[in-house]
Amino acid sequence: MKSTFADWVIRKLSHWLLKKQNTFQRAYLCDFDQISKKINVGDVILVESHNRIGTIIRHVTQSPWTHAALYIGRLNDIEDSELRNIAAHYCGYDPDKQLIIESNIGCGVIITFLTNYQKSNIRILHPQGLTPEDSQKVVASSMSQLGMQYDLRHLLDLARFIFPWGIFPRRWRSSLFEHNALQPTKDICSSMIADAFQSVDYPILPLIEEGYQNEFEFIQRNDRLYTPCDFDYSPYFDVIKYPFFPLGQLGAYHNLPWLRDAISDDDGLNFIFLSPTLKTFFSSPAFAVVGASNDRNKIGNQVLRCYLQKKKKVYPVNPHEKTIEGLPCINKISNLPNTVKSISVITPPAETEKIVEEAIAKGIKNIWMQPGAESASAIQKCVDHNINVIDNGICILKEFGFRG
């Protein structure tokens, strides 16, 4: 069959959206062996994926769960002989393979193996009270979508999510989640699964309204509006977790193999091993950067952004600025909130000596002097007043893994 320009665009865009990103895989959060033993036919599998499309979906839904699949069991778990033969075609007639059905960009709705997600962070959602007969109907409904492909419009919709809305005219903007019950989009993984459950009147996140004579009515949602995290939010699905280190016994968390005096960023890409001095510094509820700057090329700005990157409560101190990085400036140390017990100082050494005096009067307990801000006199004042001082060329940007 002759390839069209649209086919070429789909292949290129699919390849771009599926490209893996350099993010930390959190498969350690679940015990895959336990999951594979306990999972039941009809269970929904949520996946934390780490490709570009996963990043887009995570941004749109504000949830780590970016993909969904339906567990259909092993071959012998599929009661309908015709469907069993279809599934056998996908798994090579291996009766021991655990099968899932999912919809992926580039290949559409397919049957594949549960083990494909052995190294991913996954969550199992078990539909409460689903009968064995209806679980088979859910499997049959999802299998009826086998071979359905993603279309070009859907791919463009997904890609356009990464661009600011103001760039496009209104008629070009994404309509992926608009209400349009007549447009079929069963090619979305969560929509295909939602449609299968709604085919047996199983609720996910239905609209519930009070009808005639105070009777409640359930109204099915348009299945194209479902995203993977909706199964997690649903009160009708039990969340099944099998952590790699289970806490079945009282106080078992005390026996976890903690790496002491170390902290990690969200992605696990940077580790900070805390000395007692650093550990004390970071115990403060809030922080301040004295000498903060609006110039992003200056250390005073980079240190402030470093705190913000690490989700710390921080206040810029600069008497000549109103705001820095969107934060209101404090004009002097004495006006800092009492929750600030640790400050970073980025000032000339002569100015640092005055800063230390103000910090002593304010009751500051920890002072980090950035390289170039140190003063022998200022350091000695800190020592004389039992202030935990960090100096000797230790840079918070390096210690905290600042990303410029």
Q: Transcribe 59-112 into DSSP letters.
A: HHHTSS--EEEEEEESGGG---HHHHHHHHHHHTT-TT--EEEEEETTTEEEEE
Cα distance between residue 103 and residue 187, in whole Å: 6
Per DSSP, the residues of 319-344 read: TT-SEETTEEPBSSGGGS-TTEEEEE
Within 13 Å, how many C-alpha atoms sit on residue 188's CB side? 24
Cα distance between residue 318 and residue 290, in whole Å: 7
pTM for the structure as a whole: 0.61
- Tell me the β-bridge partners of 207: 219
Sequence letter at residue 259: L
Q: What is the pLDDT of residues 265-308, one digit of tens each?
A: 655 556 666 678 888 998 899 999 999 999 999 999 999 999 99
- Residue 33 Cα distances to 39, 118, 243, angstroms: 10, 9, 11
Q: What is the pLDDT of residues 18-65, one digit of tens each?
A: 666 555 455 567 788 889 999 999 999 999 876 666 666 666 667 788
* Polymer length of the chain: 404
Q: What is the structure's pLDDT at 257?
A: 79
Q: Outline which parts of the chain fall under CATH 3.40.50.720.
A: 262-399
Spans of the chain below 50 pLDDT: 1, 24, 151-152, 155, 158-159, 162, 164-165, 167-168, 172, 177, 179-186
Q: What is the structure's pLDDT at 237?
A: 97
Q: What is the structure's pLDDT at 401?
A: 72
Question: Which of 59, 49, 62 is closest to 18 using CA atoms?
Answer: 49
CATH number of 262-399: 3.40.50.720
Sequence letter at residue 384: D
Q: What is the structure's pLDDT at 162?
A: 46
Per DSSP, the residues of 250-304 read: TTGGGGS---TTEEE-TTSS-EEE--HHHHHHTTSSEEEEET--S-TTSHHHHHH
The angle subtended at Cα 225 by Cα 72 and Cα 123, nearest 5°, is 40
Domain 5-240 has CATH 3.30.450.20: no
Q: What is the structure's pLDDT at 51?
A: 65
Burial class (CB within 10 angstroms; exposed 0-12, middle 13-18, buried 19+) of 300: buried
Q: Outline which parts of the chain fall under CATH 3.90.1720.10.
A: 5-240
